[in-house]
Structure 1
């Protein structure tokens, strides 16, 4: 599953989505790092046609549920299995409340074990566009009272995916993040929890390209 990815620059986000976080962003992200995510505005009136349809925030890569004691949990909650997200303690609140988000990425990295060694491989959209990864977001209050946002990438089985089945250790289940098609972005952000699983689909292999980065 994806534990490393490249985040876009602010100008790329503005061009693709018309919004960008106010805070400075890191370009290469690992669990526990701070990166950008997009969600439906929380304070606006959904019936107001003039209200923005999307907002950009920064948060910790790795979901922090309300009961987390500190941010170390993010090292284990950066990916959420879509099949069990509604029941796992770390993710079930965000899933049941349909706290959907989009995690923009220039590329993700996965290990290719076909040579017998793990070769980091950069996977990006073949057309050069940004990946819109489906995710869940949370709002956590630290022991000191600080409000911290966080997010996790949703994943699905990829045992039969022509490209993504080539990654991860031999004998292990193959997984891939859920990359949303451009036409589904707004629907994902506003979908109720009862419709969440309808978006859990494999992204076509011919729309992705992989490049080894030893």
Structure 2
């Protein structure tokens, strides 16, 4: 799971073949309810686009934007059944969440110490996500997103995090061709084929957060 990460900036969106966002991307780390960029492919199969969305999926029936604090991660095993996520899943509203690093708590010292996980090659990370869009009282469309997670009990890097005894979970980190395969997935089978732990060699982990 991931409740805290560092989004990329506008300049880095070109790495994912997406144009800059007109809105200002907030600096620093993102938490549930924060605004951060997502990259998606429009329904007409046009070029990739990027928008600013709320971290935490807001289904069309959500009454308050604070609901995002409950929907920032979606378990891949149950995403098709959960009311909060099934509409986005069934409609294949797929996105990537671009990140510089994700943060997870490590308890190996006996207490929680926040670690940052990044790509070993220093490139931006692409996290598999779902998006929603709804109108609020001011009739303005609002984008939101969630990150998909999978079991990480056997992952050499990600199993080090979270409380002892808890199930180990990790976000789905896409690499190479997987980014396009995820955005272009046309069936549930194609989507599920991608939802698996990444190669451990792709990642590096160290204690501490990124400086602003």
Query: What TM bracket, shorter-length normalisation?
Result: over 0.9
Counterpart for residue 24 of structure 1: 24
Written as runs of structure 1 = structure 2, the 5 A alignment for 1:1-214 is 1-27=1-27, 28-42=29-43, 44=44, 46=45, 51-52=46-47, 54-194=48-188, 195-213=190-208
The question of whether the paired residues in 2 share the 8 Å contact of 1:95 and 1:193 is answered with no
The question of whether the paired residues in 2 share the 8 Å contact of 1:69 and 1:143 is answered with no
Instruction: Give me the TM-score of the superposition, normalised by structure 1.
Output: 0.93
The question of whether the paired residues in 2 share the 8 Å contact of 1:121 and 1:211 is answered with yes
Point out where structure 2 has 5 or more consecutive residues left out of the alignment: none
- SS of corresponding position for 1:66: coil
Q: Which range moved further: 194-203 or 84-93?
A: 194-203
**What's the C-alpha RMSD, in Å, of the aligned pairs?**
1.3
Instruction: Give me the TM-score of the superposition, normalised by structure 2.
Output: 0.94
The question of whether the paired residues in 2 share the 8 Å contact of 1:82 and 1:154 is answered with yes
Note the C-alpha offset of 1:181: 1.2
The question of whether the paired residues in 2 share the 8 Å contact of 1:40 and 1:189 is answered with yes
